[in-house]
C-alpha cells in the first residue's frame, strides 16, 4: 500500500519557554554552528529510524488513513480506507515535524522563519530505543 499523504500541520511551532531567535544575517558563533549541525545530524538519524518503522508498519498492514476525512478521500478513490495504527500516525507526525524544522535551514531566506526546534521532542511511545537520541536533541 502506498503511503497516505500527511495531514497538514503548522510549519512553525513555537516551543514554550523559548524566546531566543537566531537571525541568519547575524554571525553565529562556532559553538552555535557546531551545535546546530549536531542537531540536524541527529534529526536525520532519528528520521531514518522513524521511516524504517513506517515501512515495517506498512508491510504489516498497519498504515492507512490518518483521520476520518482522509478515510473518506481514500474511499472515494476506491482505495483501502482502513484507519492507520496509532504507532504509524505517531511516526508520521514526527517525521513531518522534523522535516518542517529542517527544510527552512536549507534556504538562508527561509531560515529567518524557522522554528526554534522540532515540534516533537519525544519519541513515539512504542519506540523507546529513540529515547537517548531525543534526550540528546534537547
Q: Give the pLDDT mean for 20-43.
A: 71
Each residue's pLDDT tens digit, 43-86: 999 999 999 999 999 999 999 998 999 999 999 999 988 999 99
What percent of the chain stands above pLDDT 90? 43
Pick from 105, 93, 119, 106: nearest CA to 15: 119
Sorted by sequence, the CB contacts under 8 Å of residue 128 that are 6+ apart come out as: none
- The Cβ-side half-sphere exposure at 58, using a 13 Å CA radius, reads 15
Residue 8 reports pLDDT greater than 70? no
Each residue's pLDDT tens digit, 114-125: 677 787 888 999
- The Cβ-side half-sphere exposure at 38, using a 13 Å CA radius, reads 12
Q: How far is CA 11 from the centre of its chain?
A: 10
What percent of the chain stands above pLDDT 70? 73
pLDDT in the model for residue 52: 97
Residue 13 reports pLDDT greater than 50? no
Q: How far is residue 130's CA from residue 124's CA, in Å, rounded to a whole number?
A: 8
Query: Per the confidence metrics, is the pTM higher than 0.85?
Result: no
CA separation, residue 10 to residues 53, 114, 115, 120 (Å): 24, 11, 10, 12
pLDDT-derived band of residue 18, with 50, 70 and 90 as boundaries? very low
Q: How many CB atoms lie under 10 A from the CB of residue 101?
A: 22
Amino acid at each position: 500500500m502506498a503511503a497516505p499523504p500527511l495531514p497538514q500541520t503548522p510549519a512553525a511551532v513555537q516551543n514554550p519557554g523559548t524566546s531566543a531567535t537566531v537571525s541568519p544575517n547575524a554571525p553565529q558563533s562556532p559553538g552555535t554552528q557546531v551545535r546546530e549541525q549536531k542537531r540536524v545530524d541527529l534529526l536525520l538519524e532519528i528520521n531514518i529510524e522513524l521511516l524504517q518503522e513506517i515501512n515495517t508498519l506498512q508491510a504489516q498492514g498497519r498504515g492507512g488513513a490518518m483521520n476520518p476525512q482522509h478515510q473518506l478521500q481514500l474511499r472515494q478513490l476506491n482505495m483501502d480506507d482502513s484507519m492507520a495504527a496509532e504507532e504509524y500516525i505517531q511516526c508520521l507526525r514526527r517525521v513531518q515535524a522534523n522535516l518542517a524544522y529542517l527544510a527552512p535551514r536549507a534556504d538562508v531566506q527561509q531560515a529567518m522563519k524557522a522554528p526554534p526546534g522540532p515540534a516533537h521532542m519525544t519519541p513515539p511511545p512504542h519506540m523507546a530505543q529513540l529515547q537517548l537520541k531525543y534526550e540528546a536533541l534537547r
